[in-house]
């Protein structure tokens, strides 16, 4: 069996690619966290309790952004 069609070699290659993707994802998640953190600070979000912020974001995620924004606008 040629090395090109070797299933063991193919699995090894896939595992390497998965590891590379995991590392890339971790780096991008860090960069996204920094970006979101800056936005939060620009909006005065540093005064929000982290637990409450987490609950708020989960609720927004469950409702959907547009629905959450509509409800917040109606509450004003």
Q: Are residues 57 and 25 in the same domain?
A: no
Q: Are residues 68 and 39 in the same domain?
A: no
The model's pLDDT over 15-73, given as tens digits with 9 standing for 90+, comes to: 999 999 999 999 999 999 999 999 999 999 999 999 999 999 999 999 999 999 999 99
Binned at pLDDT 50, 70 and 90, residue 3 comes out as: low
Both tokens of 10, joined, read 């193919």
Q: Which pLDDT score, from 0 to 100, does residue 5 have?
A: 83
Q: Are residues 57 and 71 in the same domain?
A: yes
Q: Are residues 35 and 15 in the same domain?
A: yes
How far is 23 from 31, CA to CA, in rounded Å? 13
Whole-angstrom CA distances from 65 to 12, 26, 61, 69 are: 41, 25, 7, 6
Instruction: Pick left, alpha or beta for residue 2 (phi over 0 → left; psi -120 to 50 → alpha; otherwise beta).
Output: beta
Task: Name the residue range of residue 21's domain.
Answer: 1-43
Q: Which pLDDT score, from 0 to 100, does residue 2 have?
A: 61
- Asked whether 71 and 63 are in contact (CB, 8 A), the reply is yes
Q: How many domains does the chain have?
A: 2
Q: Are residues 19 and 38 in the same domain?
A: yes
Q: Are residues 54 and 72 in the same domain?
A: yes
How far is 68 from 65, CA to CA, in rounded Å? 5
Mean pLDDT for 3-25 is 93
């Amino acid at each position: 069996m040629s090395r090109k069609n070797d299933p063991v070699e193919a699995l090894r290659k896939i595992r390497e690619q998965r590891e590379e993707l995991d590392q890339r994802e971790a780096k991008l998640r860090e960069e996204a966290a920094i970006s979101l953190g800056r936005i939060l600070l620009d909006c005065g979000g540093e005064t929000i309790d982290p637990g409450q912020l987490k609950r708020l974001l989960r609720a927004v995620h469950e409702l959907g952004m547009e629905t959450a924004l509509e409800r917040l606008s109606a509450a004003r």
